[in-house]
Chain A
């Protein structure tokens, strides 16, 4: 698989996965500030729900490695890894999550509503809401005659939502340059995929909408990179949409504070033993990458995140009255 991706993409994917994981690593202690000894979601510098993406980084980097700033990405309630891979402004993203005036939307959106129009990124807390907008963005590219594509990320749980089926059909009927990427982490909150999904493989559902469907096993950035590269190139060539289903895993709870009683004994430990990031580092080293280069890329990624968090913490909160701005354009 290693030959499928070029060296600079592979280094970027590694560094970006590290960046995303480190971003979540800094979120964790910050989230629990003010929430102990008694956990209360309302308290601390990061109130509300917090959905971490630990374990799912290969999906984001393998796809976004092929995207340009002008391409559109819609993501979900679990957006950090995708946002970082799409090139969302890291400082403004961190500031938004801390609810600061310098945040992407001045503190109005928070972690589930990250918007960066500079790189055409948006996400939402409503399951499968991003699929329609991706079809629209893809149609806009088609009508304008540019070679932009739109990618909608969704969870495997979202593939049971009506909007998923409607959007895939529409994308196919209109033959738009859209790619639908299912991150199958096996759960929608507590409900296991096998208990709520009629098909074994969501990729098979592509057949119902006359588009190619690919299943990518192994939570492997190189494998995702290869399949997504072909789907995105196909879309840019005007040959229509593709559905990609990626086997991945969620190493943390659905949200922070989730007791995860629905998981079988030992599952998290087993998943952590197959953490895709150290595995990818080992693969790169085996393929001849220099440890020093990987270390440097890691250090740079961490430094960028450290700087973003430091700036976000130091930044000012917005004035309360600013809440009234932007209700209408």
Chain B
């Protein structure tokens, strides 16, 4: 799943969770660059509710690893000021659902610094947050909101599906001169208290490397149908591809990794080959990632052998009760069924 490791030495493979990969990347960059600092709720003593800053307080001290009050408008605004002053803040707000309280600082401030100043002022900051449901935490703790952030000019938005990419993306995000919204999916995070898709726990080089922002990756090659996912839905797509292979259907899986910028070309290249497309997304259906991907393919005039499809969360708040939530969430089985149907329709 991860990119081929280019180092030649016989380094023993590590098994890194996304949480540890993020913390490792931030720590390494703090060592390399004294302008990097971390702040957010519960990120110092606790090491982040999702483990993204574990160990950093002990290594770098409270000046550079700051627990904040529950004052998001203030500390995210402060991060923009720090960035404008030449620092490189990494800010956490633990759930994407909470961004409502401080959205102005994100989309009207951070995202527009460069443009409004005609390039005089930059905003090199990382805003990291958890996304996703599936564990019964109800509608203010289970959203992904990819499209909400992908829609806003001036923000880069990434979401790793595995630890290797998480580390490389975080290093790239901290070094980027723009605000980067770094989303990590709770079902992939590797927390002791929440189940984790094992495939997200990967090896990763101990040293420095970047996974470029804005580049998608083909993570399984196939001939018959293209499955596009991001974060958790990459794994659902891979599981579906394995099931489909048993039926003799060869599915290609694209991991978007980034939705802004969106690597339309990688998706188009795949669909040119397969002629069939399903986008799997755990964000709300309408105006979402799926719509954007399908539009990108259609706009390129690519001939399709079947109508393209979106599998996403319906346009309703995320309900608490598991019988409803799991009914609504995308799953590998839903992808498999949709792909089989698409194959039948188009071979007729």
Contacting residues, chain A, for B137 (C-beta < 8 A): 41, 47-49, 110
Tell me which of A109, A196, A319 contacts B68 (CB under 8 A): A196
Tell me which of B42, B100, B194, B325 contacts A126 (CB under 8 A): B100
- Restricting to A83-101, which residues have a CB under 8 Å from any CB of B? 96, 99-100
Contacting residues, chain B, for A99 (C-beta < 8 A): 136, 320-323
A-B contacts counted at CB < 8 A amount to: 148
B41 touches A47 (CB 8 A): no
A327 touches B70 (CB 8 A): no
A320: Cβ under 8 A from any B Cβ: yes
Tell me which of B73, B320, B322, B325 contacts A113 (CB under 8 A): B320
A161: Cβ under 8 A from any B Cβ: yes
A188 touches B70 (CB 8 A): yes
Contacting residues, chain A, for B248 (C-beta < 8 A): none
A191 touches B45 (CB 8 A): yes
Which of B72, B315, B325 has its CB near the most chain A CB atoms (within 10 A)? Answer: B325
A40 touches B194 (CB 8 A): yes
Taken residue by residue from 28 to 47, chain A's Cβ proximity to chain B (1 for < 8 Å, 0 otherwise) reads as 00000000000111110011
Contacting residues, chain B, for A42 (C-beta < 8 A): 134-136, 194-195
B192: Cβ under 8 A from any A Cβ: yes
B324 touches A323 (CB 8 A): yes
Q: Contacts A39-B192, A191-B42 known; A107 to B319 CB distance under 8 Å?
A: yes
Which residue of chain B is the closest to A196 with respect to CB atoms? B69
Taken residue by residue from 262 to 301, chain A's Cβ proximity to chain B (1 for < 8 Å, 0 otherwise) reads as 1000000000000000000000000000000000000000
B46 touches A262 (CB 8 A): yes
Contacting residues, chain A, for B70 (C-beta < 8 A): 127-128, 157-158, 160-161, 188, 196
A257: Cβ under 8 A from any B Cβ: yes
**Shortest beta-carbon distance from B319 to chain A in Å:** 4
The size of the chain A interface, using a CB distance under 8 A, is 50
Contacting residues, chain B, for A320 (C-beta < 8 A): 323-324, 326-328
B67 touches A110 (CB 8 A): no
A190 touches B42 (CB 8 A): yes
B319 touches A191 (CB 8 A): no
Q: Measured between alpha carbons, how far is A150 from B140 in the docked complex, in Å?
A: 23
- Restricting to A41-84, which residues have a CB under 8 Å from any CB of B? 41-43, 46-49
Taken residue by residue from 89 to 132, chain A's Cβ proximity to chain B (1 for < 8 Å, 0 otherwise) reads as 00000001001100100011111110000000000111110000
Tell me which of A48, A128, A188, A190 contacts B136 (CB under 8 A): A48
B45 touches A100 (CB 8 A): no
Q: Contacts A162-B71, A191-B41, A191-B42 known; A317 to B321 CB distance under 8 Å?
A: yes
A136: Cβ under 8 A from any B Cβ: no
**Shortest beta-carbon distance from B310 to chain A in Å:** 17
Q: Measured between alpha carbons, how far is A327 from B137 in the docked complex, in Å?
A: 18
A2: Cβ under 8 A from any B Cβ: no
**Shortest beta-carbon distance from B148 to chain A in Å:** 16
B74: Cβ under 8 A from any A Cβ: yes
Contacting residues, chain A, for B326 (C-beta < 8 A): 320
B314: Cβ under 8 A from any A Cβ: yes
B287: Cβ under 8 A from any A Cβ: no
- Restricting to B94-131, which residues have a CB under 8 Å from any CB of A? 97-98, 100-101
Q: Measured between alpha carbons, how far is A197 from B97 in the docked complex, in Å?
A: 24
A124 touches B140 (CB 8 A): yes
Q: List 22 A-B contacts (CB under 8 A).
A: A41-B193, A42-B135, A47-B135, A48-B137, A96-B320, A99-B323, A108-B317, A110-B136, A110-B320, A110-B321, A111-B138, A112-B138, A113-B320, A124-B140, A126-B98, A126-B101, A157-B69, A161-B101, A162-B101, A188-B69, A317-B323, A323-B325
Chain B positions within 8 Å of A, measured between CB atoms, are 41-42, 45-46, 49, 67-74, 97-98, 100-101, 134-141, 192-195, 314-317, 319-328
Chain A positions within 8 Å of B, measured between CB atoms, are 39-43, 46-49, 96, 99-100, 103, 107-113, 124-128, 157-158, 160-163, 188-191, 195-197, 257, 261-262, 317-324, 327
Q: Which 10 A-B pairs have the closest CB atoms?
A: A47-B136, A110-B320, A99-B321, A107-B321, A320-B327, A42-B135, A48-B136, A160-B69, A190-B46, A323-B324
